[in-house]
Amino acid sequence: MDLKRFTQKQALVAALITVSSHLMAQIPSVPGITGNAENLTRETSDASQEFFARVSPDGKFLLYNALEVSYSLGLTNAGLEVRTNKNFRIVRKEIGKPVTNPLVNNAAYPTWLPNNTGVIFSYIKPEKPVIVRSDINGVGLNYISPGAMGEDDAEPVVLKDNSKILFTTRMSNSRMICSMDMKGGNYSVITEGGT
């Protein structure tokens, strides 16, 4: 073993760590001004992942998903197994204010009703996710349809006239765009996805 060469490798590794640490220190923690936006303000600060933001029709509130991921170990006949645990929740926040309110647990893809009277979302607690309606404070879960339309009802959008809900679902491993009326009736497949 060449001790001199080993020392050079150690020096190279130390230099790379120093350079990468220096570069990481230069990454701003708050968004700066870009070529197409000025004075960006960070609206959320959850420790979890945040996505699928939706602004209320009156422009005062924000709904978004927060996803907390944790890992656990389990012992099976095959040996040690790492399990990924995902906890989806919908959060409501007044824009410009620091306070957030957890709206619903085990739910994803929130969408405001056009008249600002409530929200619809994918409730993922049942065996198969379903589209559900709630008031703007998250009180009450009203199933829009009596059961899941497909294997994974998600991403609901309400037409501005409150006549239909468009959403995606999975059938036979294909993601499809579907529609139904506000009471869960008149279900139809609009597009059929590929496998």
Residue-wise pLDDT for 23-50, tens only, equals 444 444 445 555 666 666 777 777 778 8
Position 177 scores a pLDDT of: 94
CA angle 54, 60, 65 (to 5 degrees): 30
Residue 4 or 22, more confident: 4
State how far Cα 186 lies from the chain centre: 28
**Distance (Å, whole) CA 45 – CA 37:** 20
Which pLDDT score is estimated for 179?
A: 93
pLDDT of residue 51: 87
The rounded distance, in Å, linking the Cα atoms of 110 and 132 is 10
**In a 3-state reduction of DSSP, which class is residue 15?**
helix
Q: By the 8 A CB rule, do 61 and 92 touch?
A: yes
Question: Which pLDDT value is given to residue 14?
Answer: 44
Instruction: Classify 46-191 by CATH class.
Output: mainly beta
Helix residue spans in 83-141 (DSSP H): none
Dump pLDDT digits (tens) for 154-192: 999 999 898 999 999 998 888 999 999 998 889 899 987
Q: What confidence score (pLDDT) does residue 111 get?
A: 93
Rounded-to-integer distance, Cα 195 and Cα 186, Å: 25
Cα–Cα distance list, 80 to 71, 75, 85, 158 (Å): 13, 5, 16, 45
The helix/strand/coil state of 82 is: strand
| pLDDT computed for residue 35 by the predictor | 63
Ranges of each domain in the chain: 46-191
Name the pTM for this structure: 0.70
DSSP string, 20-62: HHHHHHHS-SS---BTTB-S-------SSEEEEEEE-TTSSEE
CA-closest candidate to residue 158, choices 130, 180, 189: 180
- Best CA proximity match to 151, nearest among 132, 130, 180: 130
SS3 8: helix
